[in-house]
Structure 1
Amino acid sequence: MEEIDVIGHDTSTDEKYRLYASLSFAVLLLGVGVPLWWYTTAVPRVPLPYSGIARLSDLDMRISTRIIVATFARENGELLADEVRAFFADAEVLKVDVDHQVISSNLVSRAYTTHDLEKVAATFDLKVGELLLLEAANLKEDILVGSRRTIYFSKTSGGAELVQILSQWILRDKSLALTKNALAEPTLYSLDEENRRRFPASAAYDVLLTLVNPDPESLKIDWNLPRVIDEYIEPFLEGLSLIANFSIKSQWLYLLPLDVTPKQVPDSSPLGRHYALPENVLPQLVTPLEKKLASQVSLHPCINLVVYTVPCDKAPLHIYTRTGHRSKSASNVEAFLSPRWGGVVISNPPLEVCEEAITKNKETVVVMPEGGTIMGVFLAQLRLLLGIPDANPIKGAALVQLENSKPRDWEFDALLRIRTIEQLTSAKLTLQSLSQLLKEISSIVITETVGNRIKSALDLVERSAELLERGHLVQGFLLSKEAFVTAEAAFTDPSLLALLYFPEDQKYAVYVPLFLPIMIPVLLSLKNIYRYFFEKKVNGDMGKEEETLVEDSEKIKKNEENVKLKTG
């Protein structure tokens, strides 16, 4: 029967209500509240292809290059093809495929000029990145490297010379391997002069041309800067538009003197002296220029081209080498280059102009710089800064002179290979570094945007490597460029820093004081719930056992009585 207190309340019913209330609080807090809190406070992290990124360490980046050897005799052509194939068999990055063709001597018998030879070479179907070794009969040199994708050689040329030209000038297999290894393992490999000088890979560059006039009161410059840019710089950069986007800017700076004092040296010139600028102080000129150039107004790397015009009271100004000799310059132009920064040209005014100004006591002189010479120096510096090195002399070999400021076709192909390896290696390393970082720090947010960029960059790297393996240089380069940009965008995404300042220990330090006062009574009520159900079950079991014992005892008594009756 149910227990009733003295007032008349049913105590068992109140106990059930308290039990149901405790159960509802526990279910709401533990079953709904805790999971909801855990879900809302968890760091959003989309799944990433960690295994695919780890496999990039085994990615073999090989650039397939097709070379056609065209000769008059089959034996000579097969011998040259075997020598080329054997030399590049162990190349780390390049995968050279050599074909041999036999041509008629009549094809080049009437080709006496470079223009005629280029017409003959145009009859061969050459794609970007491919090369043609063409035997010619009317060459002044043993080997002539054309402006397109052809090397002309005479019958007496040997395979060793051709291989040397291919390796050092055109394919640059050692530079490719060093670029790849130095990026991947900088502690084991050191960059050569070419890599230290070349600007790092980027999707866009700013070219800033600056004319510096330190004394505008005594020196006035008559120079149409936009015209010379359109005439010289624009065509060269248009030839490299596939490599990156170039933005050309120009500015004039006044009242910016040299940060060093040149030494006056007597000579036999009409002015009776000139000024010497030691080569070891040239780096000191870059620092004050950098402060005034405003070259950091863009996020893209800036290539600085500076023309420093010398006033007559400090002219002529010449650069002296470390050995104490004056630099060899046939014009009024002196120049030097700063790796990964730009170039500086020192433009001296004509001696007769300064002599006339001194004789007639003129306060102001008007000078027109040697535009063609200055722009020629800038183009040479741009080639070096962007990754087109000068060809070291090779005995018996010559280069066809450039018809315009645009780079040669094989120079463009070599730059494509260098940039492709640089961008692919950089994208691979960026993805691996980002993957390791996201694994180690669990509080970094990984949004859908970052996750999609990482997956896209991984896919682009793999597809680019596949296309390069099949010999598609342009398509492989474009995908490597996109992979490089996408990986950099993922690595520098601002959302990655959203919760770095709020680690796990701080999160619990904030939420525990809020939830602990609520959790204590709920946890205590769980104990009461457990006791209620457990004790009820135990009491019920004990009651059944007592009933069983009573029934058994009654049966025993009855059995004893029956036995007594029978015996009596």
Structure 2
Amino acid sequence: MSQTTPPREPTNMSRSATEARKQPPPESPQSIWLRRAVMASFWAVAVFIGLPIWWKTTAIYRADLPLQDMTAWANAKVCKPVFPLRIAVVDAPLPPHDAHHLLRTTQYALDDLNDFSTHHLRLTLREMPASAPANASQQVVVDGVGEPADDGTVALYVRLIPVETGPTPRSQLQPYSATLDVYYSPNQMPSPSSTSSLLATYIARELHGIYAEERAQLAYLLSRAAGSHAAESSSLSPEVAAQLQRQSARAFKYAPTYHLTFSLFTPTSTPSAWDIEAALRQYMHPILESFASITNFTIDTQVQLYASFSPSIRQPEYDADAKAWTIHKEDLSGFINAAEWPLSPSIGKGPTINFALYIPDRDQSPLFVQGSRDNTWLVPQWGGVMILNPPPDQMASATLTKEALAPAMQAFSTQLNALLGLPQTPASLPLRISTLTRVHTASLIFSASSTLGALAQVYQKMPSIPVPDSVAQSVNQSLTHLQQACDCLRDGRFQAALENARVADGEAEKAFFERSMVGQVYFPDEHKVAVYLPLLGPVAVPLVMAALKEVKSLVAALKGR
């Protein structure tokens, strides 16, 4: 029987020989330094060539902005708008001494009535040519102070007219001229030794009342613009503040150009035409021309046949007592069938103001709003709507005449005034236009200042967004025109102030909504990591690992010594 001999364990000498055969030969000092030189060269290329190129090609250019000035304007520390209105008193029927004395006493009475320092009236004494009242130009001296020649800064002329009959003093404001006629008796003139008189007090109260709504609107704007002006508007009652809030909510924001769209809608095939051009020339163009100093208008018209009601509202119901069809008031908000009626909100360059005229079907005529015979209503910041019931003899006519369109054009004119924010008082249209000019100037100054302040905050809080030179140029132009607008307000040149404020607001909006900036606002840093990591990872890992290995070998060599 054979026996298996167990294998013998290798001796220590044989194990050492085997391990010695498995280990690579030791590196020579030259090869070690060569390997380290190669690795160092890779790191040198990455650090001194690759990193600068990456930094240069991916650097974000940020133009320098005057952040301190922008913030100062936003905080209302640079300019507080003031509105000095020059009131020219015509002195034709009075001796110079009496005219100057009446002017002084009236000014004292005005100063006592004024409780809003931002808006104040300054009386001057001037001669007004009979042919052109608005172009008066004569330098006079009042209380030793020379008044400059009229350069279009006179807001209102006061004509003193002596009368022998009728109640006095009384006044009449011209509806289409910035002129206030004051009728007085010669015995109502103040005596040289008096400091007040019935005539001076009456004139002061009339002037104060004429600009009451303007003062309220400016105080409301100041209170909304900055908390520091809240004390200025403390005199506004809650009712007045609520009314101004409603007016502001329904009116369009100021724009250099508005686009007016007049649309005719009918549920049948008649009427298929309307004499809209003649109606616009007669009823709308005079009003649009009065706004020419403030804004421009473009107009287009359209006719939509077979225009059905919106399915979201109830159909008209017949009222036997009124013998008319009625539509519920709660359905007026959904009367416009936006899904089928072609009413584009962006046809022209500026905001579009829509005026929709609806002619009901003969089977549902006359059509009225329930509980009211007023078939017109206003849609805030959109336009106006009217339901027109033509006379029975014109129901079958295919064309609406200019005369038939007269009620609609008059209603649209009133709605346009409300949508543009035209004040309701005073009775003189030129004075209301002037008030709107000053209100728009103030709102544009506040808007531009607020936009610049917001841009300054974005610039500081988001250092990763690019800021091109065009933004800096727009900001500088906006600041320049803001200062010019403020200077023009102090001088009473309100039309020039509006022009500068309009440019300032436009440049501020242009800078804030720069495309290259807006595109980077919503680009977080996590996206950058996701882009660079797949590119730099395969390159960086071998370099880092090799560097760690060499550091480890150097540390081991130092310990071996």
2:92 is the counterpart of 1:48: no
The equivalent residue for 1:375 is: 409
Of 104, 110, 113, which aligns to 1:87?
Answer: 113
CA shift, 1:304, in A, is 1.0
CA shift, 1:184, in A, is 5.2
> Which SS does the other structure have where 1:370 is aligned?
helix
- Compared with structure 1, are the counterparts of its residues 290 and 490 closer, same or farther at alpha carbon in structure 2 (3 Å cutoff)? farther
Contact kept in structure 2, 1:87 and 1:163, CA below 8 Å: no
The equivalent residue for 1:142 is: 170
CA distance in 2, matches of 1:308, 1:36: 67
CA distance in 2, matches of 1:226, 1:413: 29
- Compared with structure 1, are the counterparts of its residues 498 and 344 closer, same or farther at alpha carbon in structure 2 (3 Å cutoff)? closer
Letter paired with 2:457: Q
Structure 1 residues 271-286: aligned runs within 5 Å: 273-286=323-336
Contact kept in structure 2, 1:278 and 1:319, CA below 8 Å: yes
Letter paired with 2:431: W
2:391 is the counterpart of 1:350: yes
The equivalent residue for 1:410 is: 431
Contact kept in structure 2, 1:275 and 1:314, CA below 8 Å: yes
The equivalent residue for 1:66 is: 86
2:54 is the counterpart of 1:37: yes
The equivalent residue for 1:248 is: 299
Letter paired with 2:116: D
CA shift, 1:390, in A, is 2.4
2:376 is the counterpart of 1:294: no
The equivalent residue for 1:477 is: 498
The equivalent residue for 2:123 is: 99
- Compared with structure 1, are the counterparts of its residues 290 and 194 closer, same or farther at alpha carbon in structure 2 (3 Å cutoff)? farther
Letter paired with 2:221: T
Letter paired with 2:114: F
TM-score by length of 2: 0.73
CA shift, 1:209, in A, is 0.7
TM-score by length of 1: 0.73
Of 117, 123, 130, which aligns to 2:155?
Answer: 130
Letter paired with 1:151: L
Q: What are the superposed Cα offsets for residues 7-44 of structure 1, whole Å, 9 maximum, x if unpaired?
A: xxx97766665565455443332223222212322333
> Which SS does the other structure have where 2:336 is aligned?
helix
CA distance in 1, matches of 2:547, 2:305: 83
Larger CA deviation: 201-210 vs 128-137 = 128-137
2:499 is the counterpart of 1:499: no
CA distance in 2, matches of 1:102, 1:454: 42
> Which SS does the other structure have where 2:475 is aligned?
helix
Q: What are the superposed Cα offsets for residues 236-279 of structure 1, whole Å, 9 maximum, x if unpaired?
A: 32332332231111100111244443343346xxxx82233444
- Compared with structure 1, are the counterparts of its residues 122 and 279 closer, same or farther at alpha carbon in structure 2 (3 Å cutoff)? farther
Structure 1 residues 518-529: aligned runs within 5 Å: 518-519=539-540
CA distance in 1, matches of 2:124, 2:343: 54
> Which SS does the other structure have where 2:86 is aligned?
strand
Structure 1 residues 151-230: aligned runs within 5 Å: 151-155=180-184, 158-159=202-203, 161-168=205-212, 172-182=214-224, 191-216=244-269, 219-220=270-271, 223-230=274-281
Letter paired with 1:410: L
CA distance in 2, matches of 1:11, 1:365: 108
Letter paired with 1:335: T
Letter paired with 1:62: V
CA shift, 1:98, in A, is 1.3
CA shift, 1:370, in A, is 2.0
Kindly, what percent of the aligned residue pairs are identical? 22
CA distance in 2, matches of 1:311, 1:421: 47
> Which SS does the other structure have where 1:130 is aligned?
strand
Larger radius of gyration: 1
> Which SS does the other structure have where 2:368 is aligned?
strand
CA distance in 1, matches of 2:287, 2:411: 13
CA shift, 1:377, in A, is 2.1
Contact kept in structure 1, 2:86 and 2:153, CA below 8 Å: no
Contact kept in structure 1, 2:266 and 2:360, CA below 8 Å: yes
CA shift, 1:297, in A, is 3.5
Aligned length: 477
Letter paired with 1:342: G
Larger CA deviation: 160-169 vs 36-45 = 160-169
Contact kept in structure 2, 1:203 and 1:244, CA below 8 Å: yes
CA distance in 1, matches of 2:537, 2:359: 76
Of 268, 279, 290, which aligns to 1:239?
Answer: 290
- Compared with structure 1, are the counterparts of its residues 326 and 245 closer, same or farther at alpha carbon in structure 2 (3 Å cutoff)? closer
> Which SS does the other structure have where 1:486 is aligned?
helix
Of 367, 378, 383, which aligns to 1:317?
Answer: 367
